[in-house]
Amino acid sequence: MSTTIDIVLTNNANIASVRAAIARLGYQTRDADRRTVEDATHLILPGVGTLASARDALDEQGLLAPLAQRLAEPQAPTLAICVGMQLLSEGSEESPGVAGFGLLSGIARAFPPNVRRPQFGWNRIAASDNWLASGYVYFANSFALVDDPGPGWQTAWATHGVRFLAATRRGRMTACQFHPELSGAFGQKLIADWIKGDA
């Protein structure tokens, strides 16, 4: 039986790279819809642009409620990427007054003015307890979560002017501020482990 990975289409999120990464691992992909979001075996929530525009895109497709249902179940394999990860938090400075799903504590904050914005490129993440090895991963973001996500979440951190949350995991739910689909062998392994249930 071949595993199919459902991908949520958030506004104009560039998902060709996500699809290609999944194909390289030998799995099929499918565009998620209202019916599949809740019961897909594996779901990827990518995101670009602002938290508000990504949330609007979910709303337009009627995905907010089914997604909230799915996210309430930590054993449902879900991978949130970049703004997708920020959607799991309480919100973002970039989109005042717009709420995220609130699974991760805190809101996304702008990087301080003394560093390049956006953060474009490869940054080192520190090894995380019993989860990720240390390594370089590819980021493209101006905002990031800086708080501890809360009880039960394993964390991996990086620094760009400020220490920020690079990735976090609870049960079968993984969220990355970086782009695993563009992060070389390191990212490819993270996706493979997430699909198989090891990360």
Partner 1 sequence: MLTRRIIPCLDVADGRIVKGVRFQGLRDAGDPLERALDYQRQGADELVVLDVSATVAERAHQTAVIRRLRAELNIPLTAGGGVRSAADAQRLLEAGADKVAINTAAVLQPALLTELSARFGAQCTVIAIDARRHQDSWEVVINAGRDSASRDALQWIGEAEQRGAGEVLLTSWDRDGTLSGYDLELLRAASSRWSLPIIASGGAKTADHLVEAFEAGADAVLAASIFHDRDTTVSALKAQLFARGIEVRR
Binding part of the chain for partner 1, among 69-77, 99-107, 113-121, 125-133 by CB under 8 A, reads 113-121
CB 46 within 8 A of CB 22: no
Binding of residue 119 to partner 1 (CB under 8 A): yes
Binding mask 38-77 for partner 1 (x = CB under 8 A): ----------xx----------------------------
Length of the chain: 199
Based on the residue annotation, tell me whether 176 is a catalytic residue of this protein.
no
Which one is catalytic: 82, 94, 160, 176? 82
> What angle is formed at CA 54 by the lines to CA 51 and CA 58, rounded to 5 degrees?
135
Based on the residue annotation, tell me whether 42 is a catalytic residue of this protein.
no
Ranges within 171-190 binding partner 1 (CB under 8 A): 179, 181-185, 187-188
Nearer to partner 1, 27 or 138 (CB): 138
Go through 92-105 and write b for each residue having 16 or more CB atoms within 10 A of its CB, e for each that does not.
Answer: bebbeebebbebbe
Binding of residue 138 to partner 1 (CB under 8 A): yes
Q: Give the containing element (helix H, strand E) for 58.
A: helix 51-60
Q: Across 28-112, where does the E strand assignment appear?
A: 28-31, 42-45, 78-81, 91-92, 107-110
Binding of residue 127 to partner 1 (CB under 8 A): no
CB under 8 Å to 158, separation ≥6 — which residues?
Answer: 123, 124, 125, 126, 137, 139, 164, 166, 177, 178
Residues near partner 1, by CB under 8 A:
12, 14, 16-17, 20-21, 23-24, 48-49, 113, 115-124, 136, 138-142, 159-160, 179, 181-185, 187-188
Q: Which residues are catalytic?
A: 82, 179, 181
